């Protein structure tokens, strides 16, 4: 009797455990079904960050009386000043009981590395396209990456309230672009909504203006698939990292399968296959703009892990006993290099805190951890570092960040990376798109042709003309300044890397030489006034200058040494007409990118927390003649 009772109890326990396991599996499935991971991708300034703002407001992420301003995710000073997104960011909202993890991405081709790494966390993409401009170079770049990863695209045709916009034509162009990029049939069957993120409405028909952006969120819930999760041990690819002064480095990624729990032992599988053992101290999921501490994370959700040391982007967090690595992140190669060196000018150490080569090396090594598209190369000198990146903007953002952190350094002229392919010298070629007034299009064609560019197409849109070229990357350096001057600031330029092609030959550089200071001292207004016929100046009156500093642009093609520290000769004899008032033209002030594009190969840009100066590599005239570059 007692034996039968014991057997029955064991069977009941087994049934209960089985039912409980099935219930937990179903619960996890329901939880996974209630998650959507989506990346918002587009060309620069097509409205990604504005759209994310409106989604956050619609999902009541803030109190009604809370003033958060615009472009909430662009919280970096540099992003605010430039009006662009530089680093990708995560935000989470809840809509109709479903958690939507949204990843905002940059729009510039120079920050393409950010887009490539974060697309691994998404199950679908929201492709924003301007209803007037249509698909632009960066639209093609980001869409290519999304299609290659097998993500489901949802198209949002934004800014339909613009004059002369053509939403239907743009929809056709997006379809043609996807077909051209090799999209599969299920990707070509994409849903579309039209609207204006700025005016807070989206609709299935651009002629019908709605009151909110619900059609967009409904499209995401309907068409973006829930995370695909396979059975097995935990696996998470680290696609981003953060840092806290309290807890150290934080690994961020999407859990592909299994469950992660607080205090759980794990294996860290490096890119090269090495395995180190570690333990999770804390787990966080994304909630709103912040993070929320949790006890466990289920597969499909994006989470942040604290306590794991020595990881890099592209590593895998896996099971403690049977670790299995995920495929690491593939990033396109850099196309441009710049020489970073210590500041050895006479003003060295006056404005910055970090001035030695050790400081610069440590900072560049730290940047490599999170900036996947950047590479660091050694030179024959301990004070010089070769930094490789995607373009002038990509590297100038790093330099500007270092400058604000208190670093002093000098930068050489940007150089493109030349490769030898099948015995031929090859260089990077880019597709350049210039949007400018119709009456000035001839100037653009002239400038680009001089720089070995080949025109592909010319399309009129209202009073503006959109001209497309293939041009060597070398030709783009310094082109923006010339175009803006020739078009009174109306030209809009964008470009994307296509590939390597045979070397196109020499490209003419700057036509004008430099005005170089002969002496150390202050720039005297009297001297500047007398020298204004010689060219344009870059320095203010009474600004400190040193020998070898480039203080202006010569009106002729050769360099000229001038003495701006010379004072007016004092005498006790008065004569009429000699004491004329000095009329000084305001100096030209360069931004960091303009300065990098302006310099010649025998010049450096000196960057300090307070100033951007141009100088010759060899400061004295005798050295410049002896070591002519």
- Cα-Cα-Cα-Cα torsion 306, 310, 315, 317, nearest 10 degrees, comes to -40
pLDDT, residue 19, reads: 41
Q: Distances in Å between the alpha carbon of 259 and those of 122, 176, 351? A: 18, 41, 51
Percent of the chain with pLDDT over 90: 38
pTM assigned to the model: 0.83
What is the CA angle 15-16-20, rounded to 5? Answer: 115
* pLDDT reading at 230 higher than 80: no
Lowest mean per-residue pLDDT among 384-393, 407-416, 620-629: 620-629
122 neighbors 156 (Cβ within 8 angstroms): no
Q: pLDDT tens-digit profile of 19-47?
A: 444 333 433 444 555 889 999 988 877 78
In angstroms, rounded to a whole number, what is the distance separating the alpha carbons of residues 515 and 534?
Answer: 8
Lowest pLDDT segment from 38-52, 264-278, 359-373, 375-389 = 38-52
pLDDT at 83: 74
Residue 2 has pLDDT above 80, yes or no: no
Residue 576's pLDDT band (cuts 50, 70, 90): low
Two structure tokens written together for 555: 């009106």
Does residue 614 have a pLDDT over 90? yes
pLDDT at 522: 93
Mean pLDDT, residues 460-487 taken together = 86
- Please answer whether residues 608 and 346 qualify as being in contact, where contact means their C-beta atoms are separated by less than 8 angstroms: no
- CA–CA separation, 45 and 85 (whole Å): 9
* Euclidean distance between CA atoms 195 and 158, whole angstroms: 5
Residue 384's pLDDT is 93
Average pLDDT, the chain: 85
What band does 523 get if pLDDT is binned at 50, 70 and 90?
very high
Q: Quote the pLDDT of residue 517.
A: 94
Q: Is the model's pLDDT at 617 over the cut of 70?
A: yes
- The structure tokens listed for 606 are 């000196």
Give the pLDDT of residue 10: 46
Predicted confidence band at 109 (pLDDT cuts at 50, 70, 90)?
confident
Q: Which domains does the chain have, with CATH numbers?
A: 31-223 (3.40.50.300), 235-319 (2.40.30.10), 419-502 (3.30.70.240), 514-569+580-626 (2.40.50.250)
Say yes or no to pLDDT of 613 above 90. Answer: yes
Evaluate if residue 14 carries a pLDDT over 70. no
Mean pLDDT confidence for 60-72 = 65
How confident is the model over 216-226, as pLDDT tens digits? Answer: 999 999 999 88
Specify the DSSP class assigned to residue 99: E
Residue 65 confidence (pLDDT) above 70: no
Measured between alpha carbons, how far is 130 from 542 in angstroms, rounded to an integer? 48
Model confidence at 609: pLDDT above 90:
yes
Nearest one of 536, 544, 548 to 587, comparing CA atoms: 536
Residues 519-524, mean pLDDT to the nearest whole number: 92
On the 0-12 / 13-18 / 19+ scale of CB atoms within 10 A, 254 is buried
Confidence label for 561 from pLDDT (cuts 50, 70 and 90): very high
Name which residue leads in pLDDT, 609 or 572: 609
Confidence (pLDDT) at 386: 94
- Binned at pLDDT 50, 70 and 90, residue 612 comes out as very high
Position with higher pLDDT, 254 vs 582: 254
Q: Can you give the pLDDT at residue 387?
A: 94
Are residues 227 and 37 in contact, defined by beta-carbon separation less than 8 angstroms? yes
The average pLDDT across 456-460 equals 88
Task: pLDDT band for 311, please (50, 70, 90 cuts).
Answer: confident
pLDDT digits (tens, 9 = 90+) for 92-102: 899 988 999 99
Tell me which residue of 270, 267, 274 sits closest to 318, measured CA to CA: 267
Q: Which residues contact 461 (CB under 8 A, 6 or more apart)?
A: 132, 164
Average the pLDDT over 101-123 and give the result: 83
Residue 342 clears pLDDT 90, i.e. is over it: yes
Is the pLDDT at 7 greater than 50? The verdict is no
State the pLDDT at residue 69. Answer: 60
For range 82-103, the mean pLDDT: 85
Angle at alpha carbon of residue 213, lines to 207 and 214, rounded to 5°? 105
Q: Note the pLDDT of residue 487.
A: 84
d(CA 156, CA 585): 48
Q: Is the pLDDT assigned to residue 140 strictly greater than 90?
A: no
User: In whole angstroms, what is the distance from residue 49 CA to residue 38 CA?
Assistant: 14
Please report the pLDDT score of residue 429 as a whole number: 92
């Amino acid at each position: 009797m007692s034996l039968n009772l014991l057997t029955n109890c064991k069977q009941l326990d087994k049934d209960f455990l089985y039912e409980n396991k099935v219930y937990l599996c179903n619960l996890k499935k329901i939880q996974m079904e209630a998650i959507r991971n989506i990346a918002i991708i587009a060309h620069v300034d097509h409205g990604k960050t504005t759209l994310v703002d409106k989604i956050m407001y619609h999902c009541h992420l803030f109190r009604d009386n809370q003033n958060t301003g615009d472009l909430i995710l662009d919280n970096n000073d540099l992003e605010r000043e430039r009006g662009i997104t530089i680093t990708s960011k995560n935000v989470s909202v809840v809509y109709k009981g479903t958690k939507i993890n949204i990843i905002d991405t940059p729009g510039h081709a120079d920050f393409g590395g950010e887009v490539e790494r974060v697309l691994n966390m998404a199950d679908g993409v929201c492709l924003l396209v301007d209803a007037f401009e249509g698909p632009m170079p960066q639209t093609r770049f980001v869409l290519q990456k999304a299609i290659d990863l097998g993500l489901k695209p949802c198209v949002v045709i934004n800014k339909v309230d613009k004059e002369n916009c053509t939403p239907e034509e743009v929809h056709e162009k997006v379809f043609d672009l996807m077909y051209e990029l090799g999209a599969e049939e299920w990707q070509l069957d994409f849903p579309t909504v039209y609207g204006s993120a700025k005016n807070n409405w989206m609709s299935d028909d651009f002629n019908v203006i709605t009151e909110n952006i619900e059609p967009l969120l409904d499209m995401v819930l309907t068409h973006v698939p829930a995370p695909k999760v396979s059975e097995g041990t935990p696996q998470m690819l680290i696609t981003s990292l953060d840092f806290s002064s309290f807890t150290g480095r934080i690994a961020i990624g999407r859990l592909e399968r299994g469950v992660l729990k607080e205090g759980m032992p794990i294996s860290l599988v490096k890119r090269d296959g090495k395995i180190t053992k570690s333990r999770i101290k804390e787990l966080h999921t994304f909630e709103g703009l912040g993070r929320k501490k949790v006890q466990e994370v289920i597969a499909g959700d994006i989470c942040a892990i604290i306590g794991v040391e020595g990881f890099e982007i592209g590593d895998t967090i896996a099971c403690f006993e049977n670790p299995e690595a995920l495929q690491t992140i593939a990033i396109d190669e850099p196309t441009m290099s710049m020489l970073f060196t210590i500041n050895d000018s006479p003003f060295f150490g006056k404005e910055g805190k970090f001035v030695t080569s050790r400081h610069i090396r440590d900072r560049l090594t730290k940047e490599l951890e999170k900036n996947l598209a950047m590479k660091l190369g050694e030179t024959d000198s301990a004070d010089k570092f070769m930094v490789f990146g995607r373009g002038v903007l990509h590297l100038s953002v790093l330099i500007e960040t270092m400058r604000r952190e208190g670093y002093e350094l000098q930068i050489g002229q940007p150089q493109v990376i030349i490769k030898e392919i099948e015995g031929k010298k090859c260089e990077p070629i880019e597709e350049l798109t210039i949007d400018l007034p119709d009456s000035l299009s001839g100037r653009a064609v002239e400038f680009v042709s001089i720089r070995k560019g080949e025109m592909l197409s010319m399309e009129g849109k209202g009073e503006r003309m959109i001209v497309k070229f293939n041009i060597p990357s070398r030709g783009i350096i310094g082109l923006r300044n010339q175009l803006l001057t020739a078009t009174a600031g109306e030209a809009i330029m964008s470009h994307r890397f296509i590939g390597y092609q045979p070397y196109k030959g020499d490209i003419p550089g700057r036509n004008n030489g430099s005005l170089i200071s002969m002496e150390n001292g202050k720039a005297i207004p009297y001297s500047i006034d007398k020298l204004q016929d010689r060219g344009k100046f870059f320095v203010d009156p009474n600004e400190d200058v040193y020998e070898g500093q480039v203080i202006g642009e010569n009106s002729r093609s050769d360099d000229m040494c001038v003495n701006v520290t010379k004072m007016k000769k004092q005498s006790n004899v008065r004569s009429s007409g000699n004491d004329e008032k000095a009329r000084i033209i305001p100096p030209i002030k360069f931004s960091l990118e303009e300065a990098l594009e302006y310099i010649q190969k025998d010049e450096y840009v000196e960057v300090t927390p307070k100033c951007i100066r141009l100088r010759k590599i060899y400061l004295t005239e005798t050295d410049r003649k002896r070591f002519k570059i």
